[in-house]
Amino acid sequence: MSASGQARIQRRTILKASAAALALPAFGSLAACGGSSGGSSGGGGASGPLTLLYMGDATQQKAFQQLFDAFHKEHPDIEIKATGIAAGDWATFVNTVSTQIAGGKVPDIVDVATEGQQLMASKGLLEPLDDRIAKDKAETDTFFNGIAPNLKTWSAKYGSPDGKTYYIPGGYNTTVQYCNTEVFQKAGVDLPTGDWTWDDYKNAGEQIKSKTGAYLLGVGYGFPFVDIMPWLLTNGASTIDAEWKKATFNSPEAVEAVTYVKSLLDAGYSPKPGGTFDAAAQFQKGKLATLGGGRWPTLDIRRLNMVDKTQIVKWPMKKSNGSAAGWDAWPIFKASQRKDKAWTFLKWMMSEKASEFYASVGGTNVPALTAVAQSEVFLKDAPKGTELIASAIDYATPIPSPAKGAQIQTEVTKGWQAAILGQKSPQDALDQANTAIQALL
């Protein structure tokens, strides 16, 4: 499970699985153009279908159509169509959308991941939702009181540069470990019933390797959400501070984290990153003990008929429990001529029926409403311990996503890669990366 192994299982699922379950899009490079704090002005009832924009390609159209069909059953007078932009990063996506809007091609709604929310909100493209939220207080209170407190707090902190509300938060992901129970049993290693430490994890790797020949995990660097952030966060470290203003990637705790991950690779508990190791296939064959991820690996676990042979556990920790967190969110474009219809869709997205839809279609994230995330609709046909993906939101940290997040991620990846592959000392690798990150903040 190298950068071309672990990243393959995750990126394939993210890009091809239910787009309505894990968002990827972002925008925003167009000058702001006024607008009230409440966002109820202008273009409320123009005719024609709503247009929803997302980052991705045509393979996601089927998933979106399922979402729209469910909505249309309750609102037969509102049609929605989805349009994807296959951009490789947020900056490219922003530029493309800005060009389209400047040319008069204005979408109504957009599905935005954490990595794009601050960037888009800072560009003045979005309609403030505060007045609409207040007007429909009964419905919106039910929603905001029913989601994880952290989700509400983070959405306001990172998606609102001016104190106004632009986003309705959607489903989310955290990071946990999927364990092949047969591999652990053959090695005589007990799976944790609660917390476990880095030492516990490394000892398990030694025993698994000696007794079964299987790898413990695949360390990597190409997908920081799983390859890097959990190791930092479980040691009280991160790439940048909580305000997304100061680089902290070379802290003693961060250096300790990358040194630990390098030790797993050096000990032979992971295949060397950069090869062709197929994590999903090797997990099924009993040659890989653990997979890191959020909700999305469940799709592969089901496909491989491994649900009953897999158990989800917390990420091993050094100082405290830690997890990256990412969520999608739904804003309305300020230039939309169909704001009333768009708000009707967003209100439906806040409903229990919408959360149950996400869970029932086997999506790749945790439904926003806690009650649904704890229900059988979400937990069925999933590995034991699936509830830990949802509960991790209580101790998780948002994936750092400042405006230049794509460039920062590149520097994070380069630094981690150089450290774990021994191209530079861990301290030198993270020092150099930290300097580059700070220059981008």
What pLDDT does 16 receive? 31
DSSP 364: S
Can you say how many angstroms the Cα of residue 174 is from the centroid of all Cα atoms in its chain? Answer: 7
DSSP 70: H
What pLDDT does 90 receive? 66
* List of the chain residues with pLDDT < 70: 1-45, 90-91, 362
For tokens 């959308």, what's the residue?
97
Residue 63: strand, helix, or coil: helix
**pLDDT tens digits for range 172-191:** 999 999 999 999 999 999 99
Separation in Å, CA 129 to CA 40, 368, 417: 8, 19, 42
Identical fold between 19-174+326-394 and 175-324+400-440: yes
**pLDDT tens digits for range 274-302:** 878 899 999 999 999 999 999 999 999 99
Asked if residues 167 and 329 have their Cβ atoms less than 8 Å apart, the reply is yes
Q: How far apart are CA 315 and CA 345, in angstroms?
A: 36
Q: How far apart are CA 137 and CA 335, in angstroms?
A: 25
What pLDDT does 19 receive? 30
Which of 137, 69, 174 is closest to 394 using CA atoms?
A: 174
**pLDDT tens digits for range 399-408:** 999 988 889 9
Q: How many CB atoms lie within 10 A of CB 100?
A: 17
What pLDDT does 32 receive? 24
For tokens 């909580």, what's the residue?
242
The separation between the first and the last C-alpha atoms of the chain, rounded to the nearest angstrom, is 31
**HSE of 418, CA atoms in CB hemisphere, 13 A:** 17
Q: What is the pTM of this model?
A: 0.88
The topology (CATH level 3) of 19-174+326-394 is D-Maltodextrin-Binding Protein; domain 2 (3.40.190)
Residue 71: strand, helix, or coil: helix
Cβ-proximal residues to 429 (8 Å cutoff; 6+ apart), any chain: 258, 415, 416, 418, 419, 423
Asked if residues 191 and 313 have their Cβ atoms less than 8 Å apart, the reply is yes
Q: How far apart are CA 440 and CA 404, in angstroms?
A: 7
Q: Strands of 176-180's sheet, edge to edge?
A: 290-293, 176-180, 310-313
DSSP 224-286: HHHHTHHHHHTTT--SB-TTS-SB-TTSHHHHHHHHHHHHHHHTTSSPPTTS---HHHHHHTT
Q: How far apart are CA 255 and CA 286, in angstroms?
A: 32
Q: How far apart are CA 261 and CA 256, in angstroms?
A: 9
- Torsion over CA: 158, 163, 164, 168 (sign): positive
Asked if residues 160 and 129 have their Cβ atoms less than 8 Å apart, the reply is no
Domain ranges of the chain: 19-174+326-394, 175-324+400-440
**Superfamily of 175-324+400-440 according to CATH:** Periplasmic binding protein-like II (3.40.190.10)
